[in-house]
Amino acid sequence: MSSLLRKAAKIYQDHGFLDLAYRGSRFLASQILCEVFNIPSRKIGVYNGVSVRKDVLLRPDDVHPSYEKALINQIRNTVETGEKIVVIGGGNGVSTTVAARRAGVSGQVISYEGSEKHVKIVRETTVLNKISDRVTVKHAIVSDAYQLFSEAGTASRIEPSALPECDVIVMDCEGSELDILRNMSVQPRAVIVETHAFLDSPEHKIRKELSKMNYSVVDRGVEDKQAGVYVLSALYNRDGE
């Protein structure tokens, strides 16, 4: 989870209004300069080992080794070679790329992203990282859009019950995770889900729902403790135990 609104809120909370205003003015200034002088407004940054063409030109920090650290660690620890992965919430394409790398050339990833702007970024990221041949990026909202990076545009809407069969499902969907868990019909080997307490999808509710579905949580990562954002990895108990 790394939306512009969340970042702005965190800057305001940690550093105050003046720092938020300063950073915001730098962002706007860089956009104006790029437009006036016809300079490319984006450059390639490295987000937890994944190349993403996203950074504003005047931002000096283009390497982010801890980007989505908890979520990415869970994907790296869970996905196995040859598996089919469904990612709900493509974002900048980092989780999609990491999943595709872990699944290898014999694996497959389907990534759903509801934001019109970010679906293009996800597709571009898969090309930059040379894994586009085994990734399908869909401009679609699964369940309801609680919070998107930008306008949905022509995004289609997919019911959780229509999600395809897969081995691992990754949810970074900004508050939609509870509804998806309650209504999906597939039973993947593993579920990786980011909880959002401030969007009424807190950890205890997610754990309860996973238990009802016969999943056992085997790992837990902390993304943002203050906001109640944790990442849970759960495995399906196929023997019913």
**Domain spans, the chain:** 69-236
Helices 17-36 + 4-15 axis angle, to 10: 140
Q: What is the pLDDT of residue 8?
A: 61
Average pLDDT over residues 116-131: 94
pLDDT digits (tens, 9 = 90+) for 133-153: 999 999 999 987 565 556 777
Token look-up 């980007």 returns 67
CA distance 234 to 195: 13
Residue 195, token pair as written in the block: 């909880």
For the chain, the distance separating the N- and C-terminal CA atoms, rounded to the nearest angstrom, is: 32
- Higher pLDDT residue, 76 or 30? 76
Residue type, 73: N
Q: In what order do the strands lie in the sheet with 135-142?
A: 156-158, 135-142, 108-113, 84-88, 168-171, 190-194, 229-236, 215-224
Candidate from 20-34, 41-55, 93-107, 164-178 with smallest mean pLDDT? 20-34
CATH 3.40.50.150 for domain 69-236, yes or no, is yes
CA distance 142 to 125: 21
Q: What is the pLDDT of residue 153?
A: 79
Phi, psi (deg, nearest 5) at residue 157: -115, 130
Which segments of 60-127 are extended strands (E)? 63-64, 84-88, 108-113
pLDDT band at 58 (very low <50, low <70, confident <90, very high): very low
pLDDT band at 191 (very low <50, low <70, confident <90, very high): very high
Residue 56, token pair as written in the block: 């504003």
Cβ neighbours of residue 208 closer than 8 Å, sequence gap 6 or more:
none
Average pLDDT of the chain, as a whole number: 85
Is the pLDDT reported for residue 26 higher than 70? no
Share of the chain above pLDDT 90, in %: 62
Beta bridge partners of 64: 47
